[in-house]
Amino acid sequence: GASVAITGAILVITAASIRFFPLLLVALFLMGSGSAVGLQARFAATDLPDKGKAGRDLSIVVWATTLGAVIGPNLFGPGEIIGDALGIPTMTGPFVITIAAQLLASLVFFFGLKPDPLKTAQSLAKATSGPKPKVSLKTAFATLKAYPKAGYAISAISLGHLVMVAVMSMTPVHMKHGGATLAIVGFVISIHIAGMYAFSPIFGWLADKIGTIQTVLFGQVIYIASLFISATAGHDNNQVTLGLFLLGLGWSATTVAGSALLTSTLPADQKTNVQGLSDSSMQLSGAFGGAIAGTILAAIAFEGLNYVTLIPVAIVLLLSGYNLLKK
């Protein structure tokens, strides 16, 4: 995955140099694999976790994303300098940094995952579980049917991501309509990103201590507080900032706990198949949320958007209650 991302970054520079837009689209598509690898990395931390520590281990990997999320946007300036020095289009300089980062990630994956904890876990499971199941979408859905709690975990993760993307993507538009400067908008989004990643170890610890479903429920409570605060904020930037910070916290609690539940529910030989389905569902839900958010914003304003996104939160609450009672 990291190697594919490197290829994509090289092609971005090439496409910009020869001014060929179709190649740029292909290049950016390939670069998306880097994001996919980053998402899957959190599951790698739980392939052979200490007993009762899966949430903690997973959340530490999510927390590490904070470094990239904070540092990344600040590398545009140095990237331009690199671009000028190498004689490539100035705007493609940051992609040189991307290539270096993905090369470093490749080395970490290659040397840091020896022996591969997933293969070790699968070897241990193979002695009692028989032949390895086929990796396919059909098999993934069959696994969800056999392990309904995994289906609940994917639903919680996906719906939680939909809520976050829908509100987050329209917040800059709402703030600009209120006269906020780009600096203020950038600060608010930075606070939101901090909420998403910086406190994830807390939710990992909670998932281990009080339970994954309970932590998902807590995430929905945070979401509700966030959506009401944002809905009633108007153009008060301080209140919008608080709402977006809580939106990030709600996402963190839901994603960390949901991911921990997913990986702890599945047998080792079926994890990667379903985990891939989970991340695909998560990203498609986010894309859908972002796509419809603009229409909702145009129709019933930012206040209405926040109230509408209470619907998926309510669905997760109902599913969580059902799974707790079933437990």
- Residue 53 has a pLDDT of 64
The predicted structure's pLDDT at residue 45: 63
Distance CA 211, CA 258 (A): 10
Q: For position 129, what pLDDT does the model report?
A: 55
Cα–Cα distance measured from residue 235 to residue 239, given in angstroms and rounded to the nearest whole number: 8
Tell me, what's the pLDDT at 124?
Answer: 53
**Which is more confident, 124 or 100?**
100
* Residue 26 neighbours by CB under 8 Å, 6+ apart: 11
Q: What is the dihedral of CA 160, 165, 170, 172, to 10 degrees?
A: 120
User: For 38-81, what is each residue's pLDDT tens digit?
Assistant: 767 766 666 656 666 667 777 777 777 777 777 776 777 888 88
The answer to whether the Cα torsion of 76, 82, 85, 86 is positive or negative is: negative
CA dihedral 161, 164, 167, 170 (to 10 degrees): -80
pLDDT digits (tens, 9 = 90+) for 207-238: 989 999 999 999 999 999 999 999 999 999 99
254-274 pLDDT, tens digit each? 999 998 898 888 887 777 788
Q: What is the pLDDT of residues 103-159, one digit of tens each?
A: 988 888 777 777 665 566 566 555 555 556 666 677 888 888 888 899 999 999 999
pLDDT at site 246: 97
Rg (CA), the chain: 21
Residue 187 reports pLDDT greater than 80: yes
Amino acid letter for position 293: A
Q: Give the tokens for residue 140.
A: 């993934």
| Contact in structure between 153 and 258 (CB atoms under 8 Å) | yes
Report the alpha-carbon distance of residue 146 to residue 6 in Å, rounded: 38
pLDDT for res 125: 56
Domains of the chain are 2-117 (no CATH), 136-326 (1.20.1250.20)
What is the band of 292 on the pLDDT scale with cuts at 50, 70, 90?
Answer: very high
pLDDT tens, position by position, 20-49: 899 999 998 898 887 777 767 766 666 656
Q: Is the pLDDT of residue 327 over 90?
A: no
Kindly provide the residue ranges of all beta strands, DSSP E only, lying in the chain, ordered along the sequence.
none
Q: Per mean pLDDT, which range of 93-97, 244-248, 271-275, 306-310 is the poorest?
A: 271-275
